[in-house]
Structure 1
Amino acid sequence: MSVQNIKKAYCYCRVSQKGQSTANGGFGMTRQQNLLLSYVQEYEAKEKDKPKDKTKDDLSYDLSIDHMEYLNAEGVSGFSGKNIDKGSVLFNFIEQCISGAISNAVLIVENLDRFSRANPQRAARILMDLLWADCHIHETELDIIHTKNSKLIDIATGLERSHKESLRKQKLSTKNWDKRFQNVVTDQKALTAKCPAWLHVESGKYQVNEYHAEQIRLIFELYNSGYGQAFIRDTLNDKGYLYNSNTWGSWLVHRILNDRRVTGSHVTQSSLRGEYDGLKMYPVIISDTDFSAVQQRLKSPGRDKKINRNANNLFAGLTVCSYCNTAHLSVMTDSKNNQRYFYCTNKTAGNGRCNTRGFKYDIVENAVLQYIRNIEFEIVDDKNINAELHALKTDLITKMQYRDEVLADINKVDIPDPIDRRAYKALQATIINLETQIKNLESLDDVSTEVKAIGNAISPELLDRKNVAMRQDFNARLRRVVKEIGVFRNENTLLIRIEYFSKINMQMIIVDAKTGRVILQSISDEGGLIIDTISGNRERHNDGKWVKIE
């Protein structure tokens, strides 16, 4: 056998599921490899000499196990076409053949099922690209060699047969899954033995693993209270919790926060079973409201930022730029003097939306803490909170009714209007935000007590950035009652606005931007505006008049 007359054999083996791979104890891959190996060993040239007519295919070559390589695709679907998608082992092989990086080679498959079960037109185009690169395809099951001169009808018939076989298997699989899901709905039976780590199957039904469920409830409670994922990770590890015998990492916390199955909902991985996505089939660990609140926080680019490891910003997620009213304030540290500065994120992004100057962070921190410590608790009383709750719930009902009307319009047509879809998405986001605000207010048993606790937490230790846990706890408490802290620099003064969840209550502080001296303080409540001047005089503005308060 002349080495020059030997083509290298690339043996393509594919199984659709990981469990069929050799590493997982399956026989599908091994069976194919042994079959193709035997084919190469027993192969004999179809012709003894090269054809004199150059328009005919040259089948005078031999194959050898010394010139053979396996192309293994484990757990890759041929029906979906993923096995020929960009980045797949077969796609890379075809690309190298077309570019000339691989030459004098043949592709060997058990049958065209292995090559692809995707749409026949797509598969035929890719297959012909390979054949026109002078790479023959050996189909061992039918003992056929496909070349660029092969009859297209033979190739098309093979690919069509493969596609129809997949459709047949798909229908059988779908019927089987339909029956399983029916058992879940009617008999409350477990779908499969495979389930989330916080559950286990006992007597054919899902049961809660309380050890893991306790950790998951703590994760959602802490995150909805304003704590960051790193803090939650450290808290779980400090408590000695393990998840699947492993310590907690930030990414694992993030995955749990995004796992819809904690609400009892099924999450399907197959488009064929999309109708079952969201089906309530597991025991509920986290309510839909709490889960939605977490999703809103995760998606929010501003308010739900958390104190980082350096704990630079005590008011992380609360401070906004009152100049452009569209961005939050971030803290940047001057490495030369270790001085911290507040900058509008629009300014640092250089998008032209804000041109306000930066200002010293410490001045804002000191002024706000001093003001909160001396706040009069009666201005954020429970009466105002109840009024705000009523307004929020009324708004929520209106938005939900409008959302349902938009959804009804969407469902009336096969192809919804993009405007309706965008409106529905915006309404959903608004509803989640309203539900989050209602939850925050309802969690306050006594508003004045909560505000007083915030004031009592202010201490010299709180100002030390090294006390990260203390600053995170303070930030979480503050978020429960403070909606927003807006800051705006006007020449040499800073205007600081503290807005509570109760719209009736708002405080304003005017501070010297250079010295930090408080020039003026004001409080607005249902009785009007109260001003505390630097001299100590107090006046209330009501019905267009200023009245001095003794």
Structure 2
Amino acid sequence: MGVYSTVIAYSYLRLSSKKQMAGYGRERQLENTVKAAQKHGWVLSEKTFEDLGVSGWKGQNVSEGAFSEFLSLVDSGSLQTPCVLICENPDRISRQGVNKSVEIMLTLLRKGVQVYTVSDDRLYSGSSEYALFDLMTWGISAQRGAEESEVKSQRIKDARKRKQLAARTTGIKVTSQCPVWMEYDKASDQFNVLEEKASIVKEIFSLYTQGYGSIQITHKLVASATPPLGRSAKWTPQKVNYILRQQSVIGLFQPMRKSGTTYLPEGEPISDYYPAIIDQQTWEKAEIIKAKSGALRGRKAINHRNIFKGLLKCVCGRAYTLKGGNEDSVRCGSYGTTCKEPTWVYTKLEHNLLLVLNGLDWTALTGTGEHVEQLEAIRHDIEVTKLKLAKADKGVSNLAETIKEMGLDDMLRSSLNEAREQRERLKGQIEKLRQKETLLAAQASNEGNWKRLHQVRNMLDNEEGRHKVNGYLRSLISDITLKTGATPWLTTPHPELPYREHDTRSKGSMVITLNSGVEIEAQVSKDQKTVYWNNGESRSVFVFGNSK
């Protein structure tokens, strides 16, 4: 190809897959670079630019890889120009098609960087008499590389789809990777449960559905010297949360696809792919708890002192938290900043709330008999369907992001339409379930006493019992709003109770909102000795004082 001036040359190597990296690809490219420099009399720099495991099809090497570093060093003057960049062929630099690839080459030439391709022994300098021909050659090579990448990508997608279809229809395994509580048996192409490790996962779910948070579950696992699962050397709340999120516990496998540097779900999860170690009812209960509690947060209260954990909130909207001291108290999370609501003495608050709850006519409020069972089942179905709707919304968002990155093709259009249709179906299902819920609530029987909370007091003297009480209360109550201040009475005090002039205004109130939507407002008298509330008719009872 002629005689070239002695200049500094830099080698650029790129391998896009782990398979290429495991083979001879890197050594081959490096050896060819050395031979090219020796052949043409260039001084080969010791600095080599390598993009290993980086794709050139989406331009990852240009935007964030070693090639991007090379351009930055040229721009900053750290690399002297003119110089030569040696690569195997044009598609090592870019597989993004003619326009983008030619743009990159012209950018290099403008910066004083000549490009030498080993495969055809060609120097692209931009100043030769063959400049136009060089440009056409580079463009043709770039287009061929882009088409090869497109074909390869489509083949990989098709192969992956065939594997997934086979997994859904015949049960074959598309990967030997599995959760730490299982192992893959190649001979039978099946996953076997490691019972000792699976029992730990079951215990975690059991504790969580009883009301324990990830922090207290971690404490229990550490205290019992339970061996950590996976590579982690110790138990952490993050590890517990990770296990609680794994759909594999109920046998699901979610195929994933790579989009840039992230992985996105591909299609619906495959059922019965793994042996299930958690039953569907337990999984759904855990999912509902997570959805109601927001992020997976641990319960930090020592010995679970606060049986109303997750229920108490301030009139400003923030949650009340338990504070220790000479006498435990609860106060607003914004206390001292944006909120001036005073604290409440916890022991008195607990006593009074339980007394009010125990005095409610739960039969009238929630019903009993078969209608109650049906109502509970409907409400469970509503929560489960809401979770499915949230996942469907996320699926639509993921597809929208994919279309934004890759463009819209027939397959993605079909997937997006299916996802949207599924989302609308779920919305319709929720609406129908809501209608059934309203009807059943109206039909619920008023006979007998459905549940009384007086037996709860026998469970408050130990940590395990208080956890169960918290879970029980959360199954009945949506939230309890505490507010203070002299407000007019909402109910008329019972005439048989002592009634003094200063009782004409209340000290504060506790608004209890049941999961059924019913609200009960209990008001504390100014002398803090009497509480009044209304659950359909005026009721009153002597209690201890509540607030400071």
TM-score over 0.5 for the alignment?
yes
Measured in 2, the distance between the counterparts of 1:103 and 1:296 equals 62
Deviation readout 1:293-326 (Å, 9 max, x if unpaired):
54554455669754226678653321123x35xx
Contact residue 341 and residue 359 of structure 1 kept, 8 A: no
Deviation readout 1:309-344 (Å, 9 max, x if unpaired):
6678653321123x35xx332438699x99966226
Measured in 2, the distance between the counterparts of 1:97 and 1:167 equals 31
For 2:62, the equivalent position in structure 1 comes to 84
Measured in 2, the distance between the counterparts of 1:392 and 1:124 equals 65
For 1:372, the equivalent position in structure 2 comes to 354
Matched, 1:115 2:90: no
For 1:489, the aligned partner's letter is T
How do 1:168-183 and structure 2 match up within 5 A?
A: 168-183=151-166
For 1:139, the equivalent position in structure 2 comes to 117
- Equivalent residue for 2:28, pick from 27, 31, 51: 31
- Equivalent residue for 2:458, pick from 452, 456, 459: 456
For 2:489, the equivalent position in structure 1 comes to none
- Equivalent residue for 2:239, pick from 252, 258, 281: 252
For 2:191, the equivalent position in structure 1 comes to 206
Give RMSD over aligned pairs.
Answer: 4.8
Q: Identity of counterpart residues, as a percentage?
A: 18
For 2:510, the aligned partner's letter is I
Contact residue 227 and residue 473 of structure 1 kept, 8 A: no
How do 1:422-501 and structure 2 match up within 5 A?
A: 448=451, 451-452=453-454, 454-459=456-461, 475-491=470-486, 493-501=507-515
Deviation readout 1:84-121 (Å, 9 max, x if unpaired):
33x33322332332343433344322222322323543
- 1:289 Cα deviation after fit: 5.8
- Equivalent residue for 1:129, pick from 107, 116, 119: 107
For 1:74, the equivalent position in structure 2 comes to 52
Measured in 1, the distance between the counterparts of 2:321 and 2:87 equals 61
For 1:283, the aligned partner's letter is P
For 1:319, the equivalent position in structure 2 comes to 312
Measured in 2, the distance between the counterparts of 1:371 and 1:332 equals 16
SS of 1:138's equivalent in the other structure is strand
Contact residue 265 and residue 278 of structure 1 kept, 8 A: yes
- Equivalent residue for 2:43, pick from 46, 50, 63: 63
SS of 1:189's equivalent in the other structure is coil
Distance 1:378-1:531 versus aligned 2 partners, 3 A rule: closer
For 2:502, the equivalent position in structure 1 comes to none
SS of 1:142's equivalent in the other structure is coil
For 1:241, the aligned partner's letter is P
Distance 1:180-1:101 versus aligned 2 partners, 3 A rule: same
For 1:494, the aligned partner's letter is G
Measured in 1, the distance between the counterparts of 2:419 and 2:8 equals 55
Deviation readout 1:469-507 (Å, 9 max, x if unpaired):
886665445434433211122248331133444556846
For 2:197, the aligned partner's letter is H
- 1:391 Cα deviation after fit: 4.1
- 1:207 Cα deviation after fit: 2.8
- 1:427 Cα deviation after fit: 7.8
For 1:531, the equivalent position in structure 2 comes to 540
For 2:540, the aligned partner's letter is I
Measured in 2, the distance between the counterparts of 1:30 and 1:193 equals 30
Contact residue 101 and residue 139 of structure 2 kept, 8 A: no
Matched pairs, number: 470
Distance 1:455-1:36 versus aligned 2 partners, 3 A rule: farther
For 2:299, the equivalent position in structure 1 comes to 307
Matched, 1:93 2:70: yes
Matched, 1:284 2:245: no
- 1:159 Cα deviation after fit: 1.4
SS of 2:51's equivalent in the other structure is strand
For 1:212, the aligned partner's letter is K
SS of 1:359's equivalent in the other structure is coil
For 1:7, the equivalent position in structure 2 comes to 8
Q: After the TM superposition, which of the residue ranges 119-128 and 71-80 deviates more from structure 2? A: 119-128
Distance 1:314-1:396 versus aligned 2 partners, 3 A rule: closer
For 1:210, the aligned partner's letter is E
Contact residue 138 and residue 146 of structure 1 kept, 8 A: yes
For 2:227, the equivalent position in structure 1 comes to 241
SS of 1:376's equivalent in the other structure is helix
SS of 2:29's equivalent in the other structure is helix
Distance 1:388-1:96 versus aligned 2 partners, 3 A rule: farther
For 1:16, the equivalent position in structure 2 comes to 16
For 2:43, the aligned partner's letter is L
Contact residue 85 and residue 115 of structure 2 kept, 8 A: yes
Measured in 2, the distance between the counterparts of 1:89 and 1:470 equals 60
Structure 2: gaps (5+ residues): 397-411, 441-448, 487-505
Measured in 2, the distance between the counterparts of 1:118 and 1:484 equals 56
Measured in 1, the distance between the counterparts of 2:433 and 2:26 equals 48
Distance 1:299-1:129 versus aligned 2 partners, 3 A rule: farther
For 1:540, the equivalent position in structure 2 comes to none
For 2:406, the equivalent position in structure 1 comes to none
Structure 1: gaps (5+ residues): 46-61, 351-355, 439-445, 537-550
For 2:491, the equivalent position in structure 1 comes to none
- Equivalent residue for 1:522, pick from 518, 530, 533: 533
Contact residue 182 and residue 192 of structure 2 kept, 8 A: yes
Distance 1:235-1:29 versus aligned 2 partners, 3 A rule: farther
- 1:228 Cα deviation after fit: 1.5
For 2:29, the aligned partner's letter is Q
- 1:224 Cα deviation after fit: 3.2
Contact residue 520 and residue 531 of structure 1 kept, 8 A: yes
Deviation readout 1:148-200 (Å, 9 max, x if unpaired):
55443222212111111112222333343344334323432222222332332
SS of 1:185's equivalent in the other structure is helix
Measured in 2, the distance between the counterparts of 1:432 and 1:26 equals 58
Contact residue 183 and residue 194 of structure 2 kept, 8 A: yes
Normalized against structure 1, the TM-score is what? 0.69
Matched, 1:230 2:225: no
- Equivalent residue for 1:161, pick from 115, 131, 144: 144
